[in-house]
């Protein structure tokens, strides 16, 4: 007779890497980004670039200072920067976007454990 094996969930062992999930999120955000460029022009591109680059830089620096493994390859900082840029007005000065990136990555994400 077979024994009943009781184990905690999840029972599906199809593990998907974080980088694949984040890449799918970026692909899903591309149409919204394209429309923001269509409606708001080059300032939308500039704000998105500032947010993405500063989020990646802050994550790199924070992980380096905390002496932990680098997680830039999982693309979560890129997703954070892109979502942050889509929530800010395009007339915002870039230095405020950089402060927002600092808060999002260092204070919220890294100090609470990261992904």
Within-domain flag for 85 = yes
Cβ contact 59:72 at 8 Å: yes
Domain that holds residue 103: 18-110
Within-domain flag for 43 = yes
Within-domain flag for 11 = no
Tokens of 56: 């990646």
Within-domain flag for 22 = yes
Q: Tell me the pLDDT tens digit for each residue of 19-78.
A: 999 999 999 999 999 999 999 999 999 999 999 999 999 999 999 999 999 889 999 999
pTM: 0.85
Within-domain flag for 66 = yes
Within-domain flag for 6 = no
Cα gap 72→60, rounded to integer Å: 7
Q: Tell me the pLDDT tens digit for each residue of 6-21.
A: 877 767 767 788 899 9
Tokens of 36: 């923001």
Q: Domain tally for the chain?
A: 1
pLDDT at residue number 1: 64
Within-domain flag for 25 = yes
């Amino acid at each position: 007779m077979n024994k009943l094996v009781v184990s905690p969930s999840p029972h599906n062992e199809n593990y998907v890497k974080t980088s694949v999930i984040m890449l799918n999120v970026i692909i899903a955000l591309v149409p919204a980004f394209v429309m923001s460029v269509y409606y708001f022009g080059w300032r939308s591109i500039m704000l998105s670039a500032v947010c993405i680059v500063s989020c990646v830089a802050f994550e790199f620096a924070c992980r380096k200072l905390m002496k932990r493994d680098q997680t830039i390859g999982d693309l979560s900082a890129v997703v954070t920067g892109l979502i942050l840029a889509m929530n800010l007005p395009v007339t915002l000065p870039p230095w405020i976007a950089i402060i927002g990136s600092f808060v999002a990555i260092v204070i919220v994400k890294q100090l609470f454990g990261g992904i």
